[in-house]
A and B are shown apart, each in its own frame.
Chain A
Amino acid sequence: MEQNNSLPPFQGIVLPSVKGAMTPGMPIFSPMMPYGSGLTPQPVTNTNSLSLLEEQQRQQQQQASSQQAGVPGGLGQTPQLYHSQTVTTTTLPGNTPLYTATPLTPMTPITPATPASESSGIVPQLQNIVSTVNLGCKLDLKTIALRARNAEYNPKAKMWAHSSYKACCFGSENQSRLAARKYARVVQKLGFPAKFLDFKIQNMVGSCDVKFPIRLEGLVLTHQQFSSYEPELFPGLIYRMIKPRIVLLIFVSGKVVLTGAKVRGEIYEAFENIYPILKGFRKTT
Chain B
Amino acid sequence: MCLPHTVLRLDRIGDVLALPKVQCPNHPDAMLVEDYRAGDMICPECGLVVGDRVIDVGSEWRTFTNEKATQDPSRVGDAQNPLLNGGDLSTMISKGTGAASFDEFGNSKYQNRRTMSSSDRAMLNAFKEITTMADRINLPRNIIDRTNNLFKQVYEQKSLKGRANDAIASACLYIACRQEGVPRTFKEICAVSRISKKEIGRCFKLILKALETSVDLITTGDFMSRFCSNLGLPKQVQMAATYIARKAVELDLVPGRSPISVAAAAIYMASQASAEKKTQKEIGDIAGVADVTIRQSYRLIYPRAADLFPPDFKFDTPVDKLPQL
Q: Which residues of A contact B (CB under 8 A)?
A: 213, 217, 220-221, 224-225, 228-233, 235, 251-253, 283, 285
Contact = CB atoms under 8 A, between A and B. Distances in A.
Interface string B76-106: 0000000000000000000000000000000
Contacts of A228: 205, 208
Interface in B201-225: 201, 204-205, 208, 214, 217-218
Given A232-B218, A252-B255, A285-B252, 13 more contacts: A213-B255, A221-B217, A224-B214, A228-B208, A229-B217, A230-B201, A231-B218, A232-B258, A232-B260, A233-B201, A235-B256, A253-B256, A283-B252
A253 B201 CA distance: 24
Contacts of A252: 255-256
A251 B256 contact: yes
B251 interface: yes
Contacts of B255: 213, 252-253, 283
Interface size class of B (residues with CB under 8 A): 10 to 19
B153 interface: no
Contacts of A229: 217
Interface string B253-270: 001111110000000000
Contacts of A251: 256
B108 interface: no
Given A217-B217, A220-B217, A231 B258 contact: yes
22 contacts: A213-B255, A221-B217, A225-B214, A228-B205, A228-B208, A229-B217, A230-B205, A231-B218, A231-B257, A231-B258, A232-B201, A232-B218, A232-B258, A232-B260, A233-B186, A235-B256, A235-B258, A251-B256, A252-B255, A252-B256, A253-B256, A283-B255
B217 A285 contact: no
Contacts of A213: 255
Contacts of B201: 230, 232-233
A221 B216 CA distance: 8
Contacts, number: 35
A51 B256 CA distance: 46
Nearest to A230: B201
Interface string B49-89: 00000000000000000000000000000000000000000
Most chain A CB atoms below 10 A, which of B251, B256, B258: B256
Nearest to B213: A224
Contacts of B257: 231
A285 B251 CA distance: 8
A237 to B, nearest CB: 11
B179 interface: no
A232 B185 contact: yes
Contacts of A221: 217
